[in-house]
Chains A and B, each alone.
Chain A
Amino acid sequence: MDWQAFALTLKLASITTAILLCLAVPLAAWLALGRSRWRAVAEAVTGLPLVLPPTVLGFYLLVLLGPLTGFGRAIASMLGHPLAFSFGGLVVGSVIYSFPFAVQPIAAGFSSVDRSLIDAARMLGAGRIRLLGTILIPLAGRSLLTAAILSFLHTMGEFGVVLMLGGDIPGATRTLSLVLFNQVEAFDYASANRTALLLVIFCGVLLTVVYARPKSLMAGERHG
Chain B
Amino acid sequence: MVEVDLKVRHGNFHFEIACKFAAPWTVVFGPSGAGKSTLLRLIAGLEQPDAGRISIHGQYILDSEIGLKAPPGRSMIGLVAQQPALFPHMPVTANVAYGLAGRADMGRHTKQRRIAAMLQLAGASHLADRWPKALSGGEAQRVALARALAPMPRLLLLDEPLSALDASARDQILSNLKDWLKDEKIQTILVTHDAADALATEAEVALIAEGKLTALGPASDVLAAERERLLARLQSGQAAPGKARAKIKSRVRPAPFQG
Listed in ascending order, the chain A residues whose CB lies under 8 Å from chain B are 114, 116-117, 119-127, 130, 134-135, 138-139, 219-220, 223-224
Contacts and interface: CB of A to CB of B under 8 A. Distances in A.
A224 B88 contact: yes
The winner among A125, A220, A223 for most chain B CB atoms within 10 A is A125
Contacts of A122: 46, 71-73
B89 A120 contact: no
B132 A117 contact: no
A127 B73 CA distance: 8
B72 A120 contact: no
Nearest to A139: B89
B46 A119 contact: yes
A116 B83 contact: yes
Contacts of B44: 123
A125 B74 contact: yes
Contact of A121 (B74, B78, B88, B98): B98
B136 to A, nearest CB: 15
| Dominant SS among interface residues on chain A | helix
A38 B101 CA distance: 33
A220 B90 CA distance: 11
Nearest to B73: A125
A119 B133 CA distance: 19
Given A223-B132, A223-B133, A121 B87 contact: yes
A117 B132 CA distance: 12
| Dominant SS among interface residues on chain B | loop
25 contacts: A114-B85, A119-B46, A119-B72, A120-B79, A120-B81, A120-B86, A121-B98, A122-B46, A122-B71, A122-B73, A123-B73, A123-B78, A125-B74, A125-B99, A125-B151, A127-B71, A130-B101, A134-B87, A134-B98, A138-B89, A139-B89, A220-B88, A223-B132, A223-B133, A224-B88
B81 A125 contact: no
B195 interface: no
B102 interface: yes
Contacts of B132: 223
A145 B170 CA distance: 44
A119 B147 CA distance: 13
B186 interface: no
The winner among B77, B89, B99 for most chain A CB atoms within 10 A is B89
B148 interface: yes
A219 B85 CA distance: 15
Contacts of A125: 73-74, 99, 101-102, 151
Contact of B99 (A117, A124, A219): A124
The winner among A117, A139, A219 for most chain B CB atoms within 10 A is A117
A116 B82 CA distance: 10
